[in-house]
Amino acid sequence: MLWRCVSEYHIGSDILLSTIHNLNVPKSLRATLAGSRVTLGLMKRAEAWSRAKGARELLFHVTSGVETARTERLMRKIGYEVMSGNYVISCSVITYKLSNGVDK
């Protein structure tokens, strides 16, 4: 399964970017040749779709924390570059210090 969209860049205009928000390959296939083929097929379809929509770049967000090293190796192998990082915090532990040092 692949979920993607095309939209304008959030700080510019007339620049379309395509984004893959979610790519799911069944766990039973992930470390197999079949899983690699499924993943490559989904990526190639996303790339073709993005070009057809006029997107300048295709962004792939990896936020699941699952198989990240394997995903990075594959993405680099097929020509993708690391652009930045993702960060997470549990909403149950979020506190903010106000300028006077009081937790909010």
Q: In what order do the strands lie in the sheet with 2-8?
A: 2-8, 16-23, 57-60
Gap between the Cα atoms of 38 and 30, Å rounded? 9
Q: How confident is the model at residue 87 (pLDDT cuts 50, 70, 90)?
A: confident
Non-local (6+) Cβ contacts of 31 within 8 A are 70
pLDDT of residue 76: 92
Residues 3-38 pLDDT 10s? 788 887 666 667 888 889 888 888 898 889 998 899
Q: Domains, the chain, ranges and CATH? A: 2-93 (3.40.630.30)
pLDDT of residue 14: 76
Residues 30-76 pLDDT 10s? 889 998 899 999 999 999 999 999 998 898 888 888 888 888 898 99
